[in-house]
Amino acid sequence: MKRKKVKILGLSYSQSQIGSYILVLSEIKGGRKIPVVIKPNEAQHIAMKLENIKSPRPLTHDLIKSLSDTFHIDIQEVYVYSITEGIFYTKIIASNGIDELELDCSIGDGLALALTYKCPIWVNVDIIDSVGISISDEEINAERNKDEDEFEIELEDMEEEIYSKPKRTVSIEDLEHMMNNAIANEEYEIAAEIRDRIQTLRDEQIKD
């Protein structure tokens, strides 16, 4: 089955689906983008990995890696192989050096594990052909600078999230939203780490 390698391009809080985040995958060779809805806890882990924020205690995906390292099992790749009614079917391919194992998982968990294990992400070409958005980074930036009345490209329900994609993979505003979620869930240590990262980014902005 033909497939293509992708990377995580952007992550932002969804304005249309409260409590969820929009993650944008992009072809490494090609300009098509794939918007994916993921859960807050998955988004938090992904954002922390992207921003190199160290959790004071192991998160679920870190615990999985610790267990797999103990038994010499490594995740080789994450593969998004099908989509049905908006649900992306994903599996991880793991190996102990001798045997290979395939396990189904949610796309959010798969992407979080890809960052944890630093392994490649692949997407079935049929999925990209079906839901991929053919728009370059330059076009996104150009559209972002126009008034809403001038928007001529329609991206259905996820239009706003794609056009408002921050230049950074995760914006300071979205990190603030995750920090507030962590506080609400009484994850005070994680909230403190995110707060420190936000302050570092703001200091960098002042220097620039």
What is the full DSSP assignment across 10-29? EEEE-SSSTT-EEEEEEESS
Is residue 153 over pLDDT 50?
A: no
168 versus 129: which is more confidently predicted? 129
- Measured CA to CA, the distance from residue 196 to residue 78 in angstroms comes to 31
The answer, yes or no, to whether residue 142 has pLDDT greater than 70, is no
Contacts of 108 (CB under 8 A, 6+ apart): 23, 36, 38, 39, 42, 43, 46
Mean pLDDT of 34-45: 90
Name the residue with tokens 């995580």: 8
| Residue ranges covered by each domain of the chain | 3-167
What residue type is 15 in one-letter code? Q
Both structure tokens of 117: 């294990």
pLDDT (tens digit, 9 = 90+) per residue, 108-132?
Answer: 999 999 999 999 999 999 999 999 8
Chain segment 1-33, per-residue pLDDT in tens: 799 999 999 898 887 777 789 999 999 887 899
Q: Which CATH code for domain 3-167? A: 3.10.690.10
Which class for 74: exposed (0-12), middle (13-18), buried (19 or more C-beta within 10 A)? Answer: middle
pLDDT (tens digit, 9 = 90+) per residue, 44-93?
899 999 998 888 777 888 889 999 999 999 999 999 999 998 899 999 99
- What phi, psi does 95 have (nearest 5°)? -150, 145
